[in-house]
Structure 1
Amino acid sequence: MKNFINMALSVGLAIAIVGGGIYLMSKSSQWAPAKAPTPILGNAMPGTQMNHPQTAMAPQTTAQASGQSPIIKCVVNGKTTYSDQPCANGIRQQQVELHDSNGIVSPNAATVQAARQRIQAEMQTEATAVSTTSTGKQADPFICSALSAEINSIDAATRNRLDAYEMQRLRIRREEVRTQQFRSGC
């Protein structure tokens, strides 16, 4: 009798929890926060109307969006300078558009070149290590094809339902054949 009461109480409680969750989910759209209106920044682009906030927004650089002064590039006698002030009269200037990098910094050319040289050196070291482990003689194509065929048959056998002992035996045999391939230079 006690088990029946506990089970009925558990079922009733589960139904109440699930029903309450469904009720809350159905009413949750009523409590969704309203979207704030999009502010209109800058002047309207030519050919657009002001009643469309999406088209009225001018594109901004990161500096403009954060309220900072724009960065200006000045070229004087072949030398480039950057400033937040306009260039002197008669000097070519260009506004630099900044993009937020989200904390990712691009490496400089020297770092990239050093990394390439290090990788090439490692690749040559590994290639030298592999070539010194080889016996130096040409691999027999018949032996290589026979070893490859044996590996294929072992792989096909492992796709069947086998007991753990048989799977272990095939794994060990496959490892032995792969070692033979390596030593033969296949």
Structure 2
Amino acid sequence: MRNVKYTSTRLNLKLLLSGLLCLLVLCCSSLVHASSSTATSQQEETITVPLSDWNKLKTNLIEADASIKSSNLSLNEAQSLTVKQATELQELKIINEERAKDLTALKDINKKQGEELAKASEVITEQASSLEKASTSLDELKAEIKNNKRTEQRLRRQRDTWAISNAALFLAGALRR
């Protein structure tokens, strides 16, 4: 049994060493490949340009860079204005919503006042009708009172006339006797 154990340990050791050796070969080959690819990428290609063209290119590049910076500043200003306008627009929307609510409330108040005015108009019409009836009734009463006074005066005159005529007849009758 000892022999089998020893053989199995040796076999495991050989397998481990061969695995490490494969790993080492793999690492070395990838390092070689990486160094060869970096060596080719480090070499830059060069172009020969006359100095006057180079200066023109350099001037154009400086102008383009200044133009880009200016455009970036303008863009930043435009963006800040847009943000500011968006904020102001939101504030205006809130104000409009509040005003719409106020307007709705005022419309409701106006509607209620209109209803109250209509009721008041009906009451005024009824009162005018009542006043007209009262005025007519008052005129009738005045006319009736006037007629009653005339009748009263006429009846007094008749009574006084009868009283005087009765007194005269009584005196005439008493004197004759």
TM-score by length of 2: 0.28
Q: Which of the pair is proportionally richer in helix? A: 2
Greater gyration radius: 2
- Answer 1 or 2: higher relative contact order, Cα 8 Å, separation at least 6: 1
